[in-house]
Amino acid sequence: MANQKQMNQMMRQMQKMQEDMASAQQALEAEVVEGTAGGGVVTAEVTGGGQLQKVSIDAGVVDPDDVEMLEDLVVAAVSDGLRRAQELQAERMGPIAGGVDLGGLGGMLG
């Protein structure tokens, strides 16, 4: 069983991790990634927090007789943007969550 000193150290580490994660989440919301489709004719801007901010469509791709293709391009661009936002989240948040030393409590939590 972990002693009081180990428990206090673990609690400080957890509190620091929570603070670091909150700061990283705020920073992610301020960052924007861009997803594209059709060679860039459709772009989607997504925040690092996963919120869609903007969709841009090149006028040359707008064909009233083929709306389905345009819809597919929009979905592909948004999906690409969301994937890039998830990669950014993993890149920024991974080191924070992975740095906690649970000491003697690691076995109790797993």
What does the pLDDT look like over 58-73, one tens digit per residue? 999 999 999 999 999 9
Tell me which of 107 and 77 has the higher pLDDT: 77
Mean pLDDT of the chain: 85
3-state SS of the chain is CCCHHHHHHHHHHHHHHHHHHHHHHHHHHHCEEEEEEHHHCEEEEEECCCCEEEEEECHHHCCCCCHHHHHHHHHHHHHHHHHHHHHHHHHHHHHHHCCCCCHHHHHHHC
Q: Is residue 2 pLDDT above 80, yes or no?
A: no
Tell me which of 6 and 35 has the higher pLDDT: 35
Count the alpha carbons within 13 Å of 106 in the hemisphere toward its beta carbon. Answer: 7
Q: Is residue 110 pLDDT above 60, yes or no?
A: no
Hey, which CATH number is domain 4-97, 3.90.920.20, 3.20.20.190, 3.30.1310.10, 3.90.1150.10? 3.30.1310.10
| CA 94/CA 47 separation, integer angstroms | 18
pTM here is: 0.70
**Average pLDDT of the residues in 42-71:** 94
Q: Which pLDDT score is estimated for 6?
A: 87
With a pLDDT cut of 70, the percent of the chain lying above it is 85
